[in-house]
Chains A and B, each alone.
Chain A
Amino acid sequence: MSGSYIALSLSMSVFFSTQVLSKSLPDLEALLGQQLNQLPTNTQISTASRIERSSSDSMAITHVVTDKDIRQFNLQSIADIIALFAGVTTRDDSSFIYVGARGIGRPGDFNSRFLFLLDGTRINENLLDAGLLGYENFVDVGLIERVEFSPGASAALYGNNALLGVINIVTKTTSKLRGVNTAVSITNDGAQHARATIGFRSSSGSDSWLSISKTKINAIPYPVLNVPAELIKWQHLNDDESTRLMFSHQRGSLQFQAAGSKRKRIFPDGFSLISQATPELEELTSEAYLFALTFDDTLSEDIEAYFHISTHGNDLERSIPFILPNGDVEFDRPRNSGRWSNLDGQLMFLGLDSHELMVGFDFQKDHRQEFSASSSIPNEFNFEQKNNESRYGLYIQDLWRLTPNLKFQWALRYDNSDFSSARWSPSFSLKYNFAEKHSLLVRHNRAFRVANFLERYANTAFNIDIPKNETIKYNEVSLIQKWTPSLSSFTTLYKANIKNLIHEDFFAPIYFNTPPIRSKGLELGIDKRWHAGMSLVASMAFQRSELEGGFGIANSPKFIGQLRFSVPLGASNFLLSLHSNAVSKRKSFGYQLPAFSSHDASINWQSTNSLFIALGVRNITNEKILEITSDGFIPYVQRRRQIHLSINWSWSND
């Protein structure tokens, strides 16, 4: 009997959905919200070639996560977004989030082997070349239009740091942020987030928006195992608070951006409980800002130009309590402070038949690179180390269309700076369309990383040679295939030689170059759409990285799997989204970290374009995931089960 009722109700669902389908042509706003039920013929990609190009013309594989994915899977940070990309893993110690790819996830590297861009602007900070992926990043995820990830080496275009991949965060315009746009979210483990954005587009088309957001996480569960009971009772003092402010104004060819963030991480100091009844609090405060002006336009029929100038700041200060023998409390305050400016330019010549020629330059002036430490009473830990530096790069790239089905792209870049030797970085890519919508891509790319200020300073302080530049050479073969209008796949086989990888010594705060590392891997992925709005994106990465002599390296899982699946529920505005992530066992400093698979689910409901609600569970089975992030040899617990609720509401007077 109950089966009949269910059949009846399902039939009614189908009937009513058919009725609605046959209604008149949707308005423009509804068309913009329309999910494609096929894979688009071409999308736009800017990261792989440093210029916006159609995906069919792209000479590298680029993975994209869009704002729709961000909302559907209720992603909270840049790290959550990056973790969706093929072959990528993230590791969080609750103060900093690290990312690894292609078998390389060096503990404590602060993501300096990835290049991070914000709308094309380099945003790695200038002391550690660190990429900030957590709440200290000044971009709220609600402002992101899409994130592009181009895996592999890209020094021929981008220079320093582009070893394992380039990640470009592209922000929205007022087409999606006009009027008042608000978002609030809460989780069962004490996280609260709120964002308010106002956006305005004038009749002349100039586009302005301002956004402020705040995140608070109270009583964060300690991310380590076997926490002593006397420390657990002070867990309510374990807090994270961050504020982000961002402004954008675009008029014609010019865009101005300003952004700032402040994050304060407070945690009870366990050592102080040895000598007193209540813990002292340790604080970690990070502040960052950016001002950027960009010009992007066509100068003549055959010349396009891009110029960019920006200035940046990043400060990180710790306040570490220690108890003096007489029982007094003293605070040591190590501080990292960076200030730098970038000037970039690029000209594209399209006047030569079958060629797209690009020349460009990048210049970075580090006004301040400063490490210091102080306490209220002078002691032997106080120090101050200051520096400034100039770095520049010149590059040329040509895309040569040899035949309609064969393209060849070469690029060459020269880099130099005050504290490193000059470097040439070439790259070669060949793309052959061996059948309609099936192409073969063969690439040779190189990249390098110059010892950063920390690595130089640490070795200099101990009278040890500064580590040599680390280098990587990638040879890759990829197949990019579109089997049907709704099914595509990619396959990449790569082999890399890594020389002089810079690594921190276990026994002293100094850095050395490792023996050569051989890395090889296979990355596979599919993207499938169904007629009713159902979609599946899945990827697998098999990888192996070894030191010369066959020794494995830390944080290098041999398998990473990703799966994303979304299905509309009936003819409603409900959407069910599932995400699974599996990583094989890996070793780190002698620890054998277990394999894991975690699963997330989210149900979303959208009412026209003004209201969007997402309710979901992360790590449904509460799988215990452990990662080692630095040479502290401490396994950190990752992504415990979390229930989250997000509400986005927007209002516009049009």
Chain B
Amino acid sequence: MTKAIIALCIFISYLPFSYAQGLSENELKAAFLYRFSQFSKWPPPPPDKLSFCVVGNHELYKAVLALFDTQNIQNSSEVIELPSNEQAQLCDILFLSQQNRQQTQYWLAELEHQPILVVADTSEGFRQGAMIGLIADANNLSFRINLTDAKRRGLNFSAHLLKLASEVR
């Protein structure tokens, strides 16, 4: 019996690992955000340095900052925590976190037709104009894509991103 338990423990240790039972919700959102940037294409000329802007979630801002540090991509990307919408046009990716309707309207007001990838983490934010909705269920995060709106702004997504989206509109 003892040998069987030992064998089982060693066997389990070597089995393929499904990664990370250790990321918080914001760390996971930061990782998604980074991956979204890799599978998105901005209209020419491509930005020299991708600007990730975060609204309404300081913990997410810190998580993106930490991710850039661990991935060593500070030279090609920067993260900005936006206090107001005046700088929103400087963003390449704008993450609107837990914003209500009025707040979302405020942030999107000056961005009509701008090639800015807007990501929201509520279904309301997605319906209101975000190109990607990064939305949680009880166990996981999944994302939806508004391809029509993205194309209208000159943005495009890779086929891989479109395949993994839970819904494409």
| Contacting pair A568 B122 (CB below 8 A) | no
- B139 cross-chain contacts in A, Cβ below 8 A: 35-36, 66, 68-69
B138: A residues at CB distance < 8 A: 39-40, 43, 64, 66, 69, 146, 527
- The reply to whether B25 and A41 form a contact with Cβ atoms under 8 Å apart is yes
Contact between A207 and B167, CB atoms less than 8 A apart: yes
Residue interface mask B134-145, A partner, CB < 8 A = 1: 011111111001
Q: Which residues of A contact B16 (CB under 8 A)?
A: 573, 607-608
CB distance from B121 to the nearest CB of A (A): 7
Write the chain B residue with the least CB distance to A29. B164
Among B30-38, B76-84, B86-94, the one that faces the other chain is B30-38
- A35 and B21 contact, Cβ closer than 8 Å, known pairs A53-B123, A201-B163: yes
Chain A CB within 8 A of B111 CB: no
- Per a CB cutoff under 8 Å, which of A9, A15, A16, A175 touches B166? A175
Tell whether B106 is near chain A: CB-to-CB under 8 Å. no
- Contact partners of A66 in chain B: CB under 8 A: 137-140
- Residues of B contacting A146 with CB < 8 Å? 137-138
Residue of B at shortest CB range from A252? B169
Mask of B1-35 contacts with A, CB within 8 angstroms, 1/0? 01001100111111111111111110010011011
CA distance A297 to B126 in the complex (A): 11
Q: Mark A22-36, 1 if CB is under 8 A from B, else 0.
A: 011111111111111
Chain A positions 569-600 with a Cβ under 8 Å from a chain B Cβ: 569-574
Chain A, Cβ-Cβ closest to B2: A2
Chain A residues, CB < 8 A from B161: 28
Closest chain B CB from A25 CB (angstroms)? 6
Task: Tell me the nearest residue of chain B to A535, going by C-beta.
Answer: B139
Evaluate contact between A31 and B169: CB separation under 8 angstroms.
no
Contact B9 A573 (CB under 8 A): no
* Contact B31 A26, beta carbon cutoff 8 Å: yes
Q: Are B169 and A205 in contact (CB under 8 A)?
A: yes
User: Is A36 a contact partner of B13 (Cβ separation < 8 A)?
Assistant: no
Asked if B98 is at the interface of the complex by the 8 Å CB criterion, the answer is: yes
| Residues of B with C-beta under 8 A to A27 | 35
- List residues of A whose CB falls within 8 A of some B CB: 2, 5-6, 8-10, 12-13, 15-17, 20-21, 23-44, 52-54, 57, 64, 66, 68-69, 145-146, 173-176, 178, 201, 203-207, 250, 252-253, 297-298, 304, 350, 353, 485, 527, 531-533, 568-574, 606-608, 654
Given contacts A25-B67, A68-B140, A203-B159, 4 further A-B contacts (CB under 8 A): A38-B24, A40-B25, A41-B25, A607-B16
**Which are the 5 A-B pairs with shortest beta-carbon distances?**
A205-B168, A40-B136, A533-B21, A9-B9, A572-B12
